[in-house]
Amino acid sequence: DTGVSQDPRHKITKRGQNVTFRCDPISEHNRLYWYRQTLGQGPEFLTYFQNEAQLEKSRLLSNRFSAERPKGSFSTLEIQRTEQGDSAMYLCASSFLLTLYNEQFFGPGTRLTVL
Amino acid sequence: GQQLNQSPQSMFIQEGEDVSMNCTSSSIFNTWLWYKQDPGEGPVLLIALYKAGELTSNGRLTAQFGITRKDSFLNISASIPSDVGIYFCAGQLPGANSKLTFGKGITLSVRP
């Protein structure tokens, strides 16, 4: 399967702990996006990378959140000192820049529960 | 921030019926996309629209990019049980540098 993959699929943690999620995009895609989705809402943009460069960050991305894409392939999203309000589905998507179109393909998501 | 409006929140139809969903905004969008999401999974891209007035089909699905660039609709014909799920519209604002803005979604139920 050559779709977007995310790991882990589920994460339960205690408030105050740090967590890290991984996203592997579709192999030829050079843009990678992180979104957050809470119950009953659509996904909300967090940040995106073009190759290894982080080009935009939403104000939703507090200083406890950091994302990296060190070699322009996979990406990690780390949340430090988790809070209960961080509980959500974290979605990764990828797209190919050199087309005229912005077709973003999503992974299955990581469901985070902060106790 | 910018919002896309999808209503109603839920729709209930009989298997075999057609259904149409709207998505509206007070802002102009360059791109409209429609996604379907099953519980516990990520959204799956159904149709993408790039030009005002564009009408695009994908099997039993048809979507249109409104001429004002502020709305889009998705039509599902001859619904089947596996059409059950949450349908999201998403749009890209001019100059938004590729991030998508999503609506809140419409939950579709199909009665056999």
Structure tokens at B4: 């896309």
What was the pLDDT predicted at A97? 72
Neighbours of A47 (CB within 10 A): 22
**Reduced 3-state DSSP string for A16-63:** CCCEEEEEECCCCCCEEEEEEECCCCCCEEEEEEECCEEEEECCCCCC
Q: Quote the pLDDT of residue A2.
A: 80
User: Are the Cβ atoms of A109 and B42 closer than 8 angstroms?
Assistant: yes
Supply the mean pLDDT for chain B. Answer: 93
If one counts every other C-beta atom within 10 angstroms of the C-beta of residue A25, the result is 26
Q: What's the rounded mean pLDDT across residues B18-47?
A: 95
Strand B61-65 and strand B55-58: the pairing is antiparallel
Mutate to test the interface with B, among A44, A49, A104, A111 (most CBs of B within 10 A): A104
Per-residue pLDDT reduced to its tens digit, B48-107: 999 999 999 999 999 999 999 999 999 999 999 999 999 999 998 877 667 899 999 999
Per CB-CB distance under 8 Å, the chain A contacts of B45 are 103-106
Instruction: Please answer yes or no on whether B101 and A45 come within 8 Å at the CB atom.
Output: yes
In the predicted model, is pLDDT for residue B2 greater than 80?
no
> What's the rounded Cα separation, in Å, for the pair A63 and A19?
14
Reported as a single tens digit per residue, the pLDDT across A13-64 is: 999 999 999 999 999 899 999 999 999 999 999 999 999 999 989 988 889 9
CB nearest to B45's CB, from A43, A91, A103? A103
